[in-house]
Structure 1
Amino acid sequence: MSKKINVGIIGATGYTGSELVRILIHHPSVEIAVITADSRKGERFVDVHPQFRGIFDAPLVGIEEIDKHDLDVVFLALPHGVSMGFVKDYLDRDFKIIDLSGDFRLSSPSVYKTWYKKDHNFSEGFESAVFGLPELFRARIKKAHLVANPGCFPTSAILALAPLLKEGVVDKNHLIVDSKTGVTGAGNKAKTNTHFPVVNDNFTAYGIKTHRHTIEIQEVINSYSGEESSVLFTPHLLPVDRGILSTCYLKPTKEMTEQKLSMLFKNYYGNEPFVRLVDQVPSIKQVRGTNFADLFTTYDERTQTIITVSVIDNLVKGAAGQAVQNMNLMMGLSEDEGLTIVPIQP
């Protein structure tokens, strides 16, 4: 049996850290060598996430402990603005880094400051970081040392937009993305707007015109298509635990039919292990707990509008699962290894 890949998870207290463990403990080629949480150092993982009792009971240690381990891959499940410090200190190490924060997803420190409202202290990281959406950038990810794992909203939206922009068949200045997310997208720290009495039996739009994922969606589809575009993105908060549904509205610039639209998406995603092209409007429960992205496309002749509907689990394909998919590519493994999970429904 070949040597297992030693991984470290930096930041274990949040939902993303928990999901990374849930996936990686069943990954046949991986050993979780160290897991850190400076705020809970000295406790055990099950003290923070009791659902792992009797399954994974590792101690939580400080970041400095990673120097005691021969690591191959490190996952950063740290907040925006914190990951950049780790990357600055450790980018020259032998292990590969997969950053699940937004610190290296954008094109430059100035763009980051505009949208995240904070300074970036490691501009060199932007030069080496690869945006970790395998369906678009698989070849680059395989060679990467630092991967910027995509945001959850951008994953759902970019998959639904990219083929149309790449083929130049839609108006690049009329891209409307209407997205809904479960509450776990806001993290596990208590906030007024995610308090149960506020979220339950309610439905809210937020971040109108200013949400930081707007620029991530726009920059990535621009890079992929080679054309400048303009994205109008509006997120909404659903009273559910997890899942994202994004509905995109686009105006075709060339003659379009249902058959042409279907064939275009099949040409791009027909052989993808985690994009499922569906012929009925999908729901978030159909991908719950998995790395799948279910994608529905249709053309409305009456209004001459292309409509795409994309659903993902925000914590898996939108975070931890996609990070493991990227790890598999970076380490020369089968892309779906450890990720063949059946959705939980009902």
Structure 2
Amino acid sequence: MIKKRIGIIGATGYTGSELVRILTNHPDIEITLITSESRAGELFSDVHPFLQGIADQTLVSINQIEEHELDLVFLALPHGVSMDFVKRVKDKSFKIIDLSGDFRLRSQAEYEEWYKTSHIYPEGIEKAVFGIPELYHDKIKEARLIANPGCFPTSAILGLAPLLKGKLIETDRIIVDSKTGVTGAGIKAKSTNMYSNVNDNFKAYGLKHHRHTIEIQGVLDELSGQETLIQFTPHLLPVDRGILTTIYARPTGEMDEAGLREIYAAFYENAPFVRLRKQEPAIKDVRGTNYCDLFVSYDKRTNMIIVISVIDNLIKGAAGQAVQNMNILFGLEETKGLNLIPLNP
């Protein structure tokens, strides 16, 4: 098989380095170029020393993309920057997987309300396919532009999908409580992410207005066929990576725990990266992998369904899911290059 030629645009952050790390071991992929405007001319392994001797390519400017024949590009660019690139290359033949939030929402108006900036390529929003393989596998196969989901939405949507699809819960009182490691905020230095502010600390942020709220809600609306309302609150953990999301929802009818687990088992029967756990999962259970571990329970006393969803925010919440989408696009085995074993301890 001829290897697919891949470009990684904006590869100096955590997501970019994870893409390179994963794709380096992919048997059907050739990383043709890696770009960075701020570090062009340097070796990728000088920016990310842990990949020395593994990924020693020279970083180039994004303008050099015209010199290469590519089958697909991953965009690891900031929100607001990806849309400009996608608009510029809209007539090119290569496929695009965008890891920013620029094409995840349902409309230009929704994007501009939640991201507080203008969207210069609304046609892309209409064309993009939301890239959760467990839900949109067939659409992903035919896509030219894939909007890779955010990390919080991935954990929340996978935790809720069987309940919404089966119309098993009330849709106007869903609570999504998420905790994330500091890499979720990106690689740039911020005072809120300094060691002295994160270590021995735990705090909520983005209360009521976090932009992932509407991303989650949009997919839940589609799954349920009606308007949903979620209360989403993210929290910052003093750990490197990982997301643990706890979901609370009230059933619409009678419920029992055994039946609930059967529903989840049937829904994710053909999902290689969703593991249904017999006990509450921890973030270390998925560290370094593309797994989403789910634990479902029913509290008869309060008549509440409780779902715990755990992912690695940099892999299933970003780079790994992007590679999973790429595999589907190219008609490859969905798990190719992603048979990663959790790091423990």
Smaller-chain TM-score bracket = over 0.9
Q: How does 1:121-140 map to 2 (within 5 A)?
A: 121-140=120-139
Gaps of 5+ in 1: none
The residue correspondences of 1:329-340 to structure 2 (distance < 5 A) are 329-340=328-339
Given that 1:136 and 1:224 are in contact with CA atoms closer than 8 Å, whether structure 2 keeps it comes out as no
- Hey, what does 1:89 align to over in structure 2? 88
Q: Distance in 2 between matches of 1:124 and 1:139?
A: 21
Q: List alignment gaps of at least 5 residues for structure 2.
A: none
TM-score, normalised on structure 2?
0.99
In 1: Cα distance, 2:243 partner to 2:159 partner: 13
More displaced stretch, 43-52 vs 308-317: 43-52
Q: Which of structure 1's runs of 4+ aligned residues deviate more than 4 A? A: none
Q: Percent identity?
A: 62
Partner of 1:67: 66
Matched-pair contact (CA < 8 Å) for 1:270–1:277: no
Cα contact 1:291–1:313 (8 A) shared by 2: yes
Per the normalisation by structure 1, the TM-score is 0.99
**Deviation of the 1:102 alpha carbon:** 0.1
1:247 corresponding residue in structure 2: 246
Shift of residue 91, structure 1, vs aligned partner: 2.1
SS at match of 1:169: coil
Q: Which residue of 2 aligns with 1:175?
A: 174
Shift of 1:47: 1.5
Q: Distance in 1 between matches of 2:224 and 2:138?
A: 16
Contact 1:10 1:78 in 2 (8 A): yes
Distance 1:91 1:291 in 2: 30
1:268 aligns with 2:262: no
Structure 1 partner of 2:206: 207
Letter in 1 for 2:331: G
Residue-by-residue CA offset, 1:22-69 (whole Å, 9 max, x unaligned): 000000000000000011111110121000111110000001111111
Deviation sequence 1:198-228 (CA, Å, 0-9, x none): 0000000000100000000000111122111
1:267 deviates by: 1.1
Match of 2:229 in 1: 230
- On the 8 A contact 1:113/1:119 being kept in 2, the answer is yes
Deviation, 1:271, is 2.2
- Is contact 1:13-1:37 (8 Å) kept? yes
How far off is 1:142 after superposition? 0.5
* Worse-superposed segment, 263-272 or 141-150: 263-272
RMSD (Å) for aligned C-alpha atoms: 0.6
1:231-260 deviations in Å (ceiling 9; x for gaps): 110000000000000000000011100111
SS of the residue corresponding to residue 170 of structure 2 reads strand
**Given residue 289 of structure 1, which amino acid in structure 2 is its aligned partner?**
G
Instruction: Report what 1:287 is aligned to.
Output: 286
Counterpart amino acid of residue 86 in structure 2 = V
Counterpart of 1:217 in structure 2 is: 216
In the comparison of the two structures, how many residue pairs are matched?
345
Q: C-alpha offsets along residues 155-203 of structure 1, whole Å, 9 cap, x if unaligned?
A: 0000011110111110100100000000000000011110100000000
